[in-house]
Amino acid sequence: PDDLEELTQSSDTDDADSHTSGYRNAASFMQKLESFSLGNKLPQYMSSYLLFLLFMQNIFHEYERSIQKLRSRHGYLSEKVNQLEAERTSLKGLLEEVRDAKSLLERNQLEVQTELTNIKFQLKQEQENRQNAAMMYDTSKDKLKRLEEQHQFEVQDKQKVELSLRNMELEMRTLLEEEQHETQKLLAQERTSRALQENLLNNHLRKQKEMEQYAALKASSLYRILNEHPCSESPTISPCFLTFKHLLHLQVEDLQAELEKETSRRYQLEKINGELQEQLASQKGVGRNHGELERSKGHLENEVRELRRQLENVQPDQSVLDQYRREAEEKAHQEMQQKLEQVNLFLQSQAASQEALDEIKAANEANLRSQLEQKIRELEGELNRARTVQQETFSQKESTRSELERYRHLYNEEMRLRMSLTAKLERLKCLLEKSVFRSLMMGNITSGSLMGPSLDMGALATPANPGTSVGALNRNMSVGYSLPSTVSDGQDQRVEDYLAKVCPVLHLSLTYRD
């Protein structure tokens, strides 16, 4: 993690000399390394390790420069996007102005249409006035016709009244004759019914008396027989007596049945008599109605005579009516001619004013149409230009977005490669530490003096971090690893100090190894 932090810090530094500092430091370091290796006989594998680390440092610097370029490119593209956004807002304002102009043109067109509709309405009113004048002429003509028809109707009504009077006289006569006939018929029926009723009543009374006499005679004979022949004295005649009694009983029942029939017939006759009396009363009412009809007949005859007298008085005035009708027709015709002349003059003046108005309206419409067409063409041109600019802006924005996506992808690739290189550097540092330690140990073993001069691990700390331990030294032993973090002028001095401390150690290891 500490190595990764150092790598991140070294990769985030920005300086103006970052493009050439890596190469200059690497070249100086190579020269010093060659001089040191020639003077101190540095082993071949150590020099190869150092060269590899230097190569990796150069690659790392190249990636840092590409990242810096990408950042500068990203800033340029953001400025370009902001500029395009400003152009977009200006184009939106232009589009709003175009829409306002279009709405103004639509309002002008609507005003022209309203004026045209008003003119059409006035023309329609003039046509309606003309139609009203024609209708007035037709109505006056119809009135004359109706007067003639009314006169004819009056004549026909008079004729109908005469016919109705004649018919009424005939009907009155027929009604009187029919009523007289009916009254005579009803009187005859009443006489016959009265005679029949009297006969029936007489027969009934006579039969009733006969039955009473017969019953009294029978009762007296029976009483006499019973007194002459008592039952206790002559028991032998009891059967004859019983049969006689039975016969008497049957006769009594027959007489009672006949009596009931006679009573029911009497009731029927009384009912018929009541109905006949009612009919007689109605006939009396008919007689009264007959008198009323006679009086109404006299009244109608008086009215007929009055109507005939009026007809006789009216017929001499027919010539006066004809003259009045002719005068009314002439007067109506003259008034109609005057009104038609006035209407014609009014229509001619209206036609002349309408023609002048149409000419003025046509000129105004042509002028306004040309102005509107020119304005519409200008607005369409501006709108097309705005659309083209917007399309170009959109295409530029799309290209910028695609380029940003590409640079972002490249940046991600660089970051992945950087992480992989960091891992590789870590592995190389570990290998270098192991090899240095192994070489030192092997030198000590081969010399047979494990108690030789001890290695001052504190002296191997870097100048930038004097308090670091051996681990920190081993992490910083990649020669070019700490160099990208600073590109100032003091970098050469730190490299020289670092080499001054590393080279004795390497020389010591080589001496022990020999």
Among 334-348, 349-363, 401-415, which range has the highest average pLDDT?
401-415
Q: What pLDDT is recorded for position 36?
A: 54
The answer to whether residues 190 and 305 belong to one domain is yes
Task: With respect to residue 275, please indicate whether it lies within any of the assigned structural domains.
Answer: yes
Do 305 and 404 sit in the same domain of this protein?
Answer: no
Give how far Cα 121 sits from Cα of 114, 221, 343, 355, 448, Å: 10, 128, 19, 15, 130
* 166-218 pLDDT tens trace: 787 788 788 878 877 877 887 787 778 777 777 877 777 787 777 777 777 77
Reading the block at residue 355, the tokens are: 């023609």
Average pLDDT, the chain: 68
Q: Residue 15: helix, strand or coil by DSSP?
A: coil
Instruction: With beta carbons less than 8 A apart as the criterion, state whether 258 and 211 touch.
Output: yes
Is 458 among the domain residues? yes
Is the separation of the CB atoms in 429 and 475 below 8 Å? Answer: yes
Q: Are 185 and 320 contained in the same domain? A: yes
Q: What is the model's pLDDT at position 303?
A: 73
Whether residue 412 sits in one domain with residue 313:
no
**Least confident among 61-65, 405-409, 497-501:** 497-501
In a domain, residue 11? The reply is yes
Torsion (CA) 356, 358, 360, 362 in degrees, nearest 10: -150
Same structural domain, 316 and 459: no
Q: Are residues 320 and 434 in the same domain?
A: no
**Residue 465, in any domain of the structure:** yes
200 & 312 share domain: yes
The answer to whether residues 187 and 301 belong to one domain is yes
Model pTM?
0.25
Q: Are residues 187 and 69 in the same domain?
A: no
Are 314 and 182 members of one domain?
yes
**Which position has the higher pLDDT, 409 or 486?**
409
Asked if residue 111 is part of any domain, the answer here is no
Listed residues 284, 307, 324: the one ending a domain: 324
Q: What is the number of structural domains in the chain? A: 2
Please report the DSSP string for 387-424 in residue order: HHHHHHHHHHHHHHHHHHHHHHHHHHHHHHHHHHHHHH
Tell me: do 290 and 423 sit in the same domain: no
In whole angstroms, how far apart are CA 418 and each of 99, 243, 411? 55, 165, 10
Of the candidates 324, 350, 368, which is a domain's last residue?
324
Residue 494 lies in a domain: yes
**Domain that residue 192 falls in:** 173-324
Length of the chain: 514
Q: Do 180 and 303 share a domain, yes or no?
A: yes
Residue ending a domain, among 292, 324, 356, is 324
Give the number of other Cβ atoms within 10 Å of residue 56's Cβ: 19
C-alpha 426: how far from chain center: 74
Residue 367 located in a structural domain: no
Q: Give the tens place of pLDDT for each residue, 41-99.
A: 445 556 666 666 677 777 778 877 888 888 888 888 888 888 888 888 888 888 888 78
Top-confidence residue, 41 or 392? 392
84 in a structural domain: no
Specify the higher pLDDT residue, 280 or 9. 280
